[in-house]
Every structure is written in structure tokens, then in C-alpha cells.
Structure 1
């Protein structure tokens, strides 16, 4: 039962990811995103966060620190990616942020931001923001350096405020 013990000892800040094991019939639709936190689209007062993995937890925590509606879409899978949901929610809010744990340069998140801008250009009120880790070849073993390198709820909240103010 070691695997169960490892499962329950999650990374700090991801406590909401703890779930009871589902029934055998449970399946997550492949290639379908999930709206983790809904927000009413309001001109200039809301934004849509497109993310996956730890980005979901950073976005949830950061959304508590900002004034304005924050909708969070968890992609769940990146190949295939739920293009229809991404386009629909991006166009509805007009302000979009993509959060990733990887460095932004030449990343999936940067590519996704480009696709969002191309598909939703007429509906966007601001350029798509992309938040990711600092551009380094590896994550340091030192926890202080790791915290400086990776995105955090505070870094995401600052970027959300800037995007809402655009």
C-alpha cells in the first residue's frame, strides 16, 4: 500500500487534488477540458485561465486574491486538446491567461496562446498572457531556488491583475 501513502503525500498547496478512488466505471472523457471554476463573462471584469496540472492549483489560489471574475479551465489532456472549449471560453471573456509549469519559450503553452489569438482575435480585449517557469535547463534541487523558478499563486495573481487592468 505504499503507492497509496505516496498518493496522499501531495505537494504542498495541492490538497484539493485529494480524491476518493472512484468506482470501476468511472472514466474521464479523453480530450475534453473541464471548467474547474466558472465566472460570468463581464466586459473588462473577467478573464479565462487555460491550464493543466499544478497550474490549476496556482490559478485557484490566485483567483482569491484578485478583483474580478476568474474562470479556470483544466485541459486535462494536451493531446488531443479541447479546442472548442478553449475558443468558446476565450471569446466569452475577452481576456485569456495560459499557465504552465514549463519555461514559456517554445512551449506548448506559448503555442496554445498563439492558436487562441488566431482563432479568437476579434473577441480578445488584450493579448493572451502566458505564465510559466523561468527559462533554465532544469529545476534546481534547492527549495528556495525552486520557488523562485516556478510560478506561484502570488506571481499568477499579479499577472491576473495586470491582465484585468489592460
Structure 2
């Protein structure tokens, strides 16, 4: 399966197992979603469990909060992560705090799916990476898969979780991973690991990172599309890097990060979002606080730029082989 098919399969499995699982959002019903992630679900489960909504993100999130408090397990789709901001108040002030405000009497088992990041030349309104906003909010969990296998397992786990989960889907690798070049598939890793997806039920636990490549010279922390880009770079350069796919930003698998950095003595963080206040800043601070006496060089970050998202210069905005390669060479020389 590719990632779209795996996500569709996850919702199908979850809906078949639990009649309380409900899918809602713009164009998710008859049309099957703008990326076809919900294709066939309304036909199989009916219009009461898979239904279209008006174009109102705050309404989608608000309805989902009410459904969750009532006992359902809603899976709302925000068509693009760029349009999630009108829903912030409902997600931050209501969903994230419902369990705490009610002393556990109510929960908010909501899984908000949304395509995020670049890769389709969508410009400023279809390509943003707002994960840092949600990792700042206590009570929310934030998940970003990098493979079809993980996408399905993590999504089922998120739907079954009793707390609200923001599930960002990197659309650049919806149909298969590529590195910084348009025409070249990424390393052989992506062709056979992660694309073999079982048809039935399984889960990938939230809060557990995956070591995609073992190494001894430097630890690279990445998630989503950047995992594939990083793997391509280190394979091309022949660097003995340990590549950790975070998979879940919150809860964060800090133990796996600690063990790797204490082994390698160096750390590079790579993400597509803007640099200032990006999640990489939190990762760099944690590594410095916890692994300071093991570090041989300062923690480095390779990120998007602190500019509005460029439409025509999208590929230059991404952390790619040149910028990642320079950071790795620089940190290995320190």
C-alpha cells in the first residue's frame, strides 16, 4: 500500500471494529476526500457515519468535541493543515482540556487528520507545517508517520486513544517517498520496509520512535518526509549516521533519543517547518539538557526558512541534500 491506501485501510478497520467511530469533514463522503483518503467509506458505512460538512473548520472541530463527549470516536478531517487555525480554539480550549476540566468524567477521543507540509506546489495556503503549535498544547498528542505501515498502525492507535490526537499526514509522500530530487526514488529502504501493510488490524504504539538506520558517528532526528530525505543524504555521502524517526512528537520517545545521542556524541535535527520556535528547538534543548556531557559538538538544526512559504521556490525551501550534507560535515568536523 501507499500511505493514502494505508490511511484509508486504517479508518476502514477502525470503523468495522467499533460502531462509535465516525468520519466527518469537507468532501470526505461521496467524493472520498481531496486526496481520496476516505474513498469508499461512505458507501460501505453510510451517510450517518461518514458525512460531509460545510467549509467551517471551527464547526468541524466543535462538532467533533460534542460527539466525543457524547461517547463517539470522531475522526474529523481538516482538508489542509493550513486551514486548521480557525479550529484552534475548539481544539486547544475544549478538546485538549475536556478530561481535566471534567475531572475525568468526559474524554475527548478525537483524531484530527490533516495533510501537511509541501510537495505539491501549494504555496502559502496549502503547504504549511504547523506541528509546533500543537506540541505546545498540554492535553494534545501529535503524530506524524513516515511510512504506510506506520500510518495505518499509528492511525488505528490514535483512534482508539481516549485523548485528542492531531494526526498530520505528509502529503509529499502520500504516493511514495522521494528525496530532494523530483525524479529519483529514495533509498532502497523505502521500497521494502514500511510499504508492506497488513490488510487487517494492528497498531503501532504512540510515543515510540523507530531507529531507521543504526550508526555511530551522529544522531539525526527527523519525522515525516524528512526521514526519507535524511536517509537518502546519509546513504549518498556514506556517513555512519543513526537516523531516528520520531513518529510521535507528543508523547516523545526521549529514551530512544538519549540512548542514541549518548552513543554518537553528536545530534542534528531536521524538519520542514520554519526554524524559529519549530519543534527542532525543543528537541535541541532536550538533548542539550539531558546529554550535555556526552556531546562532542553543538546540536545542529536544518529546517525551513523563517519566511512565508514560497510558491515557486518550494524545493529550495525544503531541507535538502545540500543543506543537510553541509550540516553533517560541519558537525562531524567539530
Q: Normalised by the size of structure 2, how large is the TM-score?
A: 0.44
Pick aligned residue for 1:49 from 220, 239, 254: 220
Residue 8 of structure 1, CA deviation: 6.1
Cα separation, partners in 2 of 1:96 and 1:8, compared to 1, 3 Å: closer
Long gaps (5+) in structure 1: none
Cα separation, partners in 2 of 1:77 and 1:58, compared to 1, 3 Å: same
Matching of residue 118 in structure 1 with residue 289 in structure 2:
yes
For 1:152 and 1:130, how far apart are their aligned partners in 2? 13
Aligned equivalent of 1:141: 311
Superposed CA deviations along residues 34-89 of structure 1, whole A, max 9, x for unmatched, are 000111x2xxxx10101101110111011023353111000001010101111110
Pick aligned residue for 2:280 from 80, 87, 109: 109
Cα separation, partners in 2 of 1:68 and 1:152, compared to 1, 3 Å: closer
Matching of residue 60 in structure 1 with residue 201 in structure 2:
no
Aligned equivalent of 1:36: 212
Aligned equivalent of 1:25: 201
Aligned equivalent of 1:69: 240
Cα separation, partners in 2 of 1:28 and 1:66, compared to 1, 3 Å: same
Q: Between 22-31 and 68-77, report the one with greater CA deviation.
A: 22-31
Residue 135 of structure 1, CA deviation: 0.8
For 1:89 and 1:96, how far apart are their aligned partners in 2? 9
Q: Between 126-135 and 59-68, report the one with greater CA deviation.
A: 59-68
Cα separation, partners in 2 of 1:113 and 1:8, compared to 1, 3 Å: closer
Contact 2:177/2:225, CA 8 A, preserved across alignment: no
Larger Rg: 2
Contact 1:66/1:160, CA 8 A, preserved across alignment: no
Contact 1:49/1:99, CA 8 A, preserved across alignment: yes
Superposed CA deviations along residues 121-161 of structure 1, whole A, max 9, x for unmatched, are 00000010011011113x2221xx11121111222112111
Secondary structure at 1:156 match in 2: helix
For 1:47 and 1:82, how far apart are their aligned partners in 2? 18
For 1:53 and 1:163, how far apart are their aligned partners in 2? 23
Contact 2:268/2:300, CA 8 A, preserved across alignment: yes
Q: Between 46-55 and 146-155, report the one with greater CA deviation.
A: 146-155
Contact 2:178/2:228, CA 8 A, preserved across alignment: no
Contact 1:91/1:120, CA 8 A, preserved across alignment: yes
Residue 12 of structure 1, CA deviation: 3.9
Residue 3 of structure 1, CA deviation: 2.8
For 1:108 and 1:8, how far apart are their aligned partners in 2? 22
Q: Normalised by the size of structure 1, how large is the TM-score?
A: 0.85
Long gaps (5+) in structure 2: 1-31, 40-170, 180-184
Cα separation, partners in 2 of 1:150 and 1:8, compared to 1, 3 Å: closer
